[in-house]
Homo-oligomer: A and B are copies of this chain.
Amino acid sequence: MNNIIVQKFGGTSVGSIEKIKKIAKRIKKYKDENNHLVIVVSAMGDTTNELIKKANSISKYPSPRELDMLLSTGELISISLLSIALQEINCKSISLTGGQSGIITNSYHKKARITSIDTNRIEEELEKDNIVIIAGFQGVTENYDITTLGRGGSDTTAVAVAAALNADLCEIYTDVDGIYTTDPRICKSAVKLNEISYDEMLELARQGANVLHPRSVEIASKYKLPLVVRSSFNDSEGTKIIEVSKMEKTLIRGIALDNDICRITVTKVPDEPGIAFKLFSLLAKNNINVDTIIQNLNHDKKNDISFTVSEDNYKSTVDICNEFASEYIETKVLSKNNVSKISIIGTGITSNAEIASKFFQTLYELGINIEMISTSEIKISCIIASADTDETVRQIHSQFELDQINILN
């Protein structure tokens, strides 16, 4: 099937009946341009949080399976109302649940991963010239149990469905009008990017930029699916996320800041095989996701292992590490729950040695002590004390002339 466009509208875009009517009109306009349209929708506004609150008023730890059953209703409400709104303005449309859309996931409730999509029903409805409205954030297991995909799940639904349909384009409509060089609330000279590569977007998303969920970028990258992030409230062009080969070279594309982390150091662990495995498998068993990991040789055949976790995991991580440390004579646990990760991202980083030194120099001139450094092909992250991180972002943004990025291109 040709000329398929998948569009995703987030919770704020469908936050009220009035907004749903407005979005319906916008979708009608796209449909009149003669496209096959698939629309992925999140739950209205704050619905998901309200449902979680209801569950928590009964149980502090509701079972993930039942919570998924409960949360899935948020999207069913928004897809049916959007479909009714479209039909009211004479657009043929049909709403489909995750299951009806053929979205099969594994059975890890609350954070399931899509394992396959059977697009038969979607294609059948597109052939009938229906606008197909799909419930984001949800799927079903092989056993028809309802699952949800975790934070940012509707983005993942949109991109995965677009990839499965071999769509021409996937557009993510949101409350910002694209991807910025850094958070515009922190840095006023932040600039909207016209384009960014999949890898850069992935690092930006992973390092704390909240616009797109990393998983959705991964899928788009794997299938080379053209992805656009744009505003649901105006007609500005948004940001294209595309292959490196198709874009202008630029050294640094953006700066990400993550304040929601803490640093744990386990000192003087014996320098022998299996130690890191033992520590991190213990954390994994307790469902604690570890971000940056660094191991340094200390002395006397002892190592220091440092890593970061999100703040809500701070206490349990320290407890687990203390238990681990108690098995070794000299081992101690140091921790700091008030640190930030500041990252610069760009495909030009590996090819240019000056970038790292300019980054570190800026931090030095601001009097900021770097606690940890971690690098990849296209990013450099520094863990620093949380004080004054906003000013740090502004300084780095200016040093790398990111406010000029669209002119330089």
Given contacts A17-B54, A81-B54, contact A59 B76 (CB under 8 A): no
Query: Does any Cβ of B come within 8 Å of A38's Cβ?
Result: no
This chain: copies in complex: 2
Q: Are A144 and B81 in contact (CB under 8 A)?
A: no
Alpha-carbon distance A69/B58, docked complex (angstroms): 26
Query: Does any Cβ of B come within 8 Å of A73's Cβ?
Result: yes
Given contacts A17-B57, A58-B20, A100-B144, contact A70 B81 (CB under 8 A): yes
Alpha-carbon distance A57/B95, docked complex (angstroms): 18
List which A128-153 residues lie within 8 A (CB) of chain B: 144-146
Q: A125 to chain B: closest CB distance in Å?
A: 11
Chain A interface extent, by class: 35 or more
Query: Does any Cβ of B come within 8 Å of A115's Cβ?
Result: no
Chain A, residues 66-96, CB within 8 Å of chain B (1/0): the string is 1101101100110111011101100000110
Alpha-carbon distance A385/B266, docked complex (angstroms): 89
Query: Does any Cβ of B come within 8 Å of A332's Cβ?
Result: no
Q: Which residues of B contact A51 (CB under 8 A)?
A: 77
Alpha-carbon distance A88/B80, docked complex (angstroms): 32
Q: Are A69 and B79 in contact (CB under 8 A)?
A: yes
Query: Does any Cβ of B come within 8 Å of A295's Cβ?
Result: no
Query: Does any Cβ of B come within 8 Å of A279's Cβ?
Result: no
Q: Which residues of B contact A59 (CB under 8 A)?
A: 84-85, 87-88
Q: Are A84 and B58 in contact (CB under 8 A)?
A: yes
Q: Which residues of B contact A73 (CB under 8 A)?
A: 73, 76-77
Query: Does any Cβ of B come within 8 Å of A99's Cβ?
Result: yes
Chain A, residues 320-350, CB within 8 Å of chain B (1/0): the string is 0000000000000000000000000000000
Query: Does any Cβ of B come within 8 Å of A184's Cβ?
Result: no
Query: Does any Cβ of B come within 8 Å of A55's Cβ?
Result: yes
Q: Are B58 and A85 in contact (CB under 8 A)?
A: yes
Q: A109 to chain B: closest CB distance in Å?
A: 12
Q: Which residues of B contact A76 (CB under 8 A)?
A: 69-70, 72-73, 76
Alpha-carbon distance A95/B121, docked complex (angstroms): 26
Q: Which residues of B contact A58 (CB under 8 A)?
A: 17, 20-21, 81, 84-85, 88
Q: Which residues of B contact A69 (CB under 8 A)?
A: 76, 79-80, 83, 95, 97
Query: Does any Cβ of B come within 8 Å of A49's Cβ?
Result: no
Q: A171 to chain B: closest CB distance in Å?
A: 24
Chain A, residues 16-40, CB within 8 Å of chain B (1/0): the string is 0100110000000000000000000
What would 13 more interface pairs be, CB under 8 Å, given A58-B85, A58-B88, A69-B97? A17-B57, A17-B58, A20-B58, A55-B84, A58-B84, A59-B84, A62-B84, A69-B79, A70-B81, A70-B84, A72-B76, A76-B76, A100-B144
Enumerate 10 A-B pairs (CB-CB under 8 Å) in ascending A order: A58-B85, A59-B84, A62-B84, A66-B95, A67-B84, A69-B79, A69-B80, A69-B97, A73-B73, A76-B76
